[in-house]
Amino acid sequence: MTMHDAQNPRELALLVLDEIYERGAYANLALKRAVRGNGLSSLDRKLCTELVYGTVKTTGTLDWYLCRVINRPFRKMAPRLRTILRMGAYQILYLERIPDSAAVNECANLARYYVNENSVKLVNGVLRQLSRTKATWQFPQKEEDATLRLALTYYHPEWLVRRWKFRFGLPEAEAMCAYDNAVPSLCLRVNTLFISRKTLLERLQADGCEVEPSKWSPDGIVCRHLPSLETLMKEWGRFLYIQDESSMLDADVLAPKPGDLVLDFCAAPGGKTTHLAQKMENKGKIIAMDIHDHRLTLIEENATRLGITNIRALLHDGTKPLPGFENRADAVLVDAPCSGLGVLNRRAEARWTKKERTLSQFPPLQKKILAQAAACVKPGGRLLYSTCTLERDENSRVRTAFLESHPEFRSKAFLHPVTGERVEELQILPWRDGIDGFYLALFEKVE
């Protein structure tokens, strides 16, 4: 059965969760595809959304509970059966408005239709047992179990909590987890080619939107309450781009000028690229690169919508040389592929798909791309390196290694966007700064 044939919100949620767990889909994109044109009522759509995001977010904690009431290895069960049990457990443990009996019955029906008749008894038994005993289960309370307790309480993998505890201390690790669980803020970047922030703020407020200027970027607007995004984009599409405050910092810090030649090495989907174009007043040229052809289309579509004409999208592997651009660019941006541990607040599934053993793959890749980008910077030109992670191996240590291996570059100080102090690198910490975890380091090629 396809997602568009699904008859009820639980059925649709199961199919979306399948996409996420088994095929690595992004939760927000899979859900958006599923509900579009499905014909569910707004109430059913709300339930489907709650089941998908809630189940994905609490996966590790749901598994901990389920392992206590199942007398066989949970990991060895059929993937779809595991998903049905997780969905049922989420409703029993976290959705008070749904009676446990309704959750059990609905999940048993899903098992009958999507697994087999034999699985119905198992689903019934496990979920009823969980319903009966849920109040008796306690997370480990001993001092030495603090990391596990935090991981279960805040729905994060234990390895990640342990990492943050080692780096920042237990209270900060807890604060970081709490930040990830909060509802993400919605931020807009004003397209200053066509409207000022002041004017757009006034017009949005006149339309009944609760909005305020970002303190982090002169082009940012933070939204407290809006009509639907669809309505917003229909009315104001050309004047804004949905973009987090942290990622607006790249264009603000690199600060290209009108007429510059700018290279953006990892550009898709084009948020930072189109922001650079605004800083350049749509004059000069930006070469926006990505390794995936289909993602270049996103850059072009976003540029067209925003009325930007100075961007050229180019299919290019950033770890390889870029012929014809040696020592030519005034400004180069490397917003590098990274572990993304600073933006888990926006990606419900990412906390479970990321693995500690894979973190080591990023620094070598980041150094390769930086080396190729460096070759394109002209004497006196600037190179900005950024990531959306908190990992030192991907941030300050990459910066140090770059300066050691590239004596033709020096660190260039820039102003902290809020305090105004001069800094040579900037690590945004979400629980302290209230925005996504980003890192920026600016370099200048010596003339």
- Dist CA 221 CA 236 (whole Å): 13
3-state secondary structure of 414: strand
Q: Which helix (H) or strand (E) holds 409?
A: strand 409-411
CB 166 within 8 A of CB 363: no
Q: What DSSP designation does 134 have?
A: G
Interatomic CA distance for residues 262 and 246, integer angstroms: 20
Q: Distance (Å, rounded) from C-alpha 239 to C-alpha 66?
A: 48
CA atoms within 13 A on the CB side of 34: 31
209 among known catalytic residues = no
CA-nearest of 295, 257, 294 to 279 is 257
Structure tokens at 175: 């604060």
CA 25 to chain CA centroid, nearest Å: 13
Which among 295, 283, 345, 289 is positioned nearest to 320, based on CA atoms? 289
**Contact indicator for 273, 267 with CB cutoff of 8 Å:** yes
Using an 8 Å Cβ cutoff, are 77 and 115 in contact? no
Catalytic residues: 388
